Amino acid sequence: MSTAGWQVKKDGSRFWANVITLALRDNGGSLRGFARIVRDFTSCHQREASSRSTSSSSPAQSSGSIVVGIISGEVDQIPEANQVFLDLVGYTREDLNSGRMRWLDMTASKYTAADVQAHEECLKFGACTPFEKELIRKDSRALPVSVATAMLPLGNSAG
């Protein structure tokens, strides 16, 4: 489970934290304890608050936080995305359905290491630590985004 919010250090100072809590199980599946990873994201949180308060003409900043939905089972494939995401990156539903939307085309090489780290964290912990990057829109313009990834169960559920 991943959460974000204000935390208090031992010295009483506050910081904005991303917290990932994991259940630790033995080989037989019995619960052995919990692990918690806490990362300080105060500067990122302050940048976001500042950009919201100085709103600009970009759609992401003028309307506050925008949540987009994307399903990605492979490193370079995007089998599904909601309309908000498609509008932000300038692609159409036809582009998505035809396979013309590819992560590798939408990500500058300087963000490859961050994407790989996020993927590895997601596989290991079920979620990644949010991070900043830029997507490359269909019209080649850069789009600054905050990325948070979570692994969701797929398939049929009983009951």
> Mean pLDDT for each consecutive 10-residue tract of the chain (159 residues)?
76 82 81 79 68 47 53 67 86 90 85 82 79 90 84 53
In a domain, 94, yes or no: yes
The reported pLDDT for the residue numbered 66 is 57
Residues 136, 67: one domain?
Answer: yes
For residues 71 and 36, membership in a common domain is answered with no
pLDDT of residue 65: 52
Final residue belonging to a domain, choices 20, 35, 54:
54
At 25 the pLDDT is: 81
Q: How many domains does the chain have?
A: 2
Do 39 and 4 lie in a common domain? yes
pLDDT of residue 59: 44
Q: How far apart are CA 124 and CA 29, in angstroms?
A: 16
Distance (Å, whole) CA 14 – CA 6: 6
123 found inside a domain? yes
Q: Residue 58: its pLDDT value, please? A: 45
Other C-beta atoms lying within 10 Å of the C-beta of residue 25 = 11
The answer to the question of residue 84 being in a domain is yes
Residue 92 is predicted with a pLDDT of 92
Let me know if residue 132 belongs to a domain.
yes
- Helices (H), ranges, the chain: 42-53, 59-62, 83-89, 93-98, 103-106, 112-125
What local confidence, expressed as pLDDT, does residue 159 receive?
Answer: 45
Residues 96, 100, 101: CA angle, nearest 5 degrees:
60
Structural domain that includes position 136: 56-153
Counting every residue, how long is the chain?
Answer: 159
Asked if 149 and 83 sit in the same domain, the reply is: yes
Question: 79: which 2 tokens?
Answer: 């089998």
